[in-house]
Structure 1
Amino acid sequence: MTSYQRGTIPTSIDETMAMLESADYLAGTALATVLFLSLRMKRPLFLEGEAGVGKTEIAKVLAKALDRPLIRLQCYEGLDVSSAVYEWNYPAQMLEIRLSEASGTTDRSSIERDIFSEKYLIRRPVLQAISGEPGRAPVFLIDELDRTDEAFEAFLLEVLSDFQVTIPELGTIRAQEPPIVIITTNRTREVHDALKRRCLYHWVDYPKAEQELEIIRRKVPGCSAALSQDIVAYVQKLRTLDLFKNPGVAETIDWATALTELDRLALDPETIADTLGTLLKYQDDIARIEGSEGRRLLSEVQSEQRAAG
């Protein structure tokens, strides 16, 4: 198997897969390929998919494997420049003005130069991301971009085009080396095509059964092989239902951990009903699975396990 040297940019798709696997992130060839190309071409990577499929984790794994700082911009409705890019430390500036006045300083231009200096600049995620050192450019995670409004999206488009920010009082700050940009969205709204065109794109789907089973083996080593198979088979069937929110990989891991802590060796209706809160997060979904639907799924899983024998 191809090995990976920590802290280096992968030189092949196989090495990219090895890099991800070194941090226990199991990726298919398609994801490894687009991630490899994103790193080599120095283009932002746009990851779309349902919540809980591991999009954010890719940025965390990348920062750990490459030994780079991880800077996260968590998007939300109403996010503005002062929260995302920079702002001035107004209380400290006012204190400096009063101290200058108390000391008899009357040169307004001198005071202005002093208070609008780096000393009083508060760097938010965007400015932090473009201020990285050459060879140590951070991994810049723009998480859940679809939660922001179109105005901020347009501003971000400009930042990603030139990797620079203009601060009227200081001038333009340019990235000596562009950060490694990972953008995620849960597709609650469509992101404008102009931004997508500047990125490489990948849809992150739920893992297949074999892959999810391997994830449990790595993340919950105390979970027995038989129970792990039951858990994965049950979760995979849950995702075929019309639930309000399908369980993600993180919920599968939580459920496996909970059942292991309870010393369960197999699934049964009572155990499932008692622990559904670790797997499903909406009462309507829980109520549906607590009833006949949940028992039907368990019966199917057990029948398939006996047939596989």
Structure 2
Amino acid sequence: MNKQPTILVTGVNGQVGFELVRNMQCLGRVIALDRAALDLADLSRVRNTIRDLKPSIIVNPAAYTAVDKAESDVDMAMRLNAEAPGVIADEAARSGAVLIHYSTDYVFDGTKVGRYVEDDATNPQNVYGRSKLAGEQAIAAAGCAHLVLRTSWVYGRRGKNFLLTMLKLGAERPELRVVTDQIGAPTWSNTIAAATAHVVAQGLAAADLEWWRERSGTYHLTAAGETSWHGFATAILGLAMEEKAPTILPVPSSEYPVLAKRPANSRLALGKFSETFSLNLPAWEEALRLCMAD
């Protein structure tokens, strides 16, 4: 592979895509495409764009992420999260490019005691999870050099996410009710992007497609540690508001009805990623402090 490759990044207006572009600028020629430039729903356009640009590395954070809306918008969720990644992977296999793609803890049902490892049985409980799992399977079937990075509870300072919702509601209300019986690792979008950039840098140093092929597969990539949504909200507002923070009441998920069922246990084991790429991921509390100070 070229030492200064063309790196195609999709979905660059999203939380992870925006941070990816910032983290990868020094690694090669970065082509950053938003939805207007590359709508993943247009599969022919996806295929033609990749053929025209001839990227060495494709990083695909673009996705359908409206978890509850997906329950009634099944076709579009499958198009963006399953069919489009399959097309991208087919093109990567055809041209000898590397694909880095992001998936989710929602491929699991959340009933395991302990952390999920990469080869645990999947059993998604909602349309979003099923669509993301189908995307994983399409990429594996294409046979390209690839990394599928499962993450969870992604937040950042842009877009729509739990952090920004809590900051808004915390400034408006004296009391908040937040779910306490779902456990996971809040993961800053920049943590994901920085870790991805480190992996890409390793691959470029190896300068060999075989390096990527030897490491192809699925990895879990989240912040270290765990908490509940209630614990996450408490940490956010504690940093943002200190003594002015509202009261945050713990409630079971049964009192917070949503269309799409969420896993109670979203904890992902990080050992495979850390051992393969010699990277230790930061604790979620430290990453949150950095995000809040950013």
Which protein is richer in strand relative to its size?
A: 2
TM-score, normalised by the number of residues in structure 1: 0.31
Bigger radius of gyration among the two: 1
TM-score, normalised by the number of residues in structure 2: 0.32
